Amino acid sequence: MEEKAQLLELILSAVAGPASGVAVALLCLGGFGWFLIKFLLPQQERQLDKVLKDSAEDRKLFERSVGVVSRRLDKIEEDLVVIKTKL
């Protein structure tokens, strides 16, 4: 019975010692790394793809708007030339 108690005490001291803390920390870091690679990174990639797609659509809309403004300014310039010739 005394041997079993010593063996149990030895096992408990090994499990509760500083080496087991390092092992638990490494397991936690490994689990976090797996979670990061498996779930978070693909989600981030999807979000970035969505942002880039939205940005491309916004850029096209902006280019069209600048074209409209440019045509309006051209018309105003023509009107100013006509006004200046009449003055």
Sketch the domain layout of the chain as residue ranges. Answer: 2-86
pLDDT at 63: 93
Contact assessment for residue 2 and residue 8, using Cβ atoms and an 8 Å cutoff = no
Tokens of 43: 């989600």
Q: Alpha-carbon distance 59 to 57, whole Å?
A: 5
Mean pLDDT for the stretch of residues 38-67: 88
- State which amino acid sits at residue 20: S
Tell me: pLDDT of 52 over 90: no
pLDDT at 11: 78
Q: What is the mean pLDDT of the chain?
A: 85
pLDDT at 6: 84
Contact assessment for residue 50 and residue 44, using Cβ atoms and an 8 Å cutoff = no
pLDDT band at 5 (very low <50, low <70, confident <90, very high): confident
Q: Alpha-carbon distance 10 to 20, whole Å?
A: 13
pLDDT at 67: 92
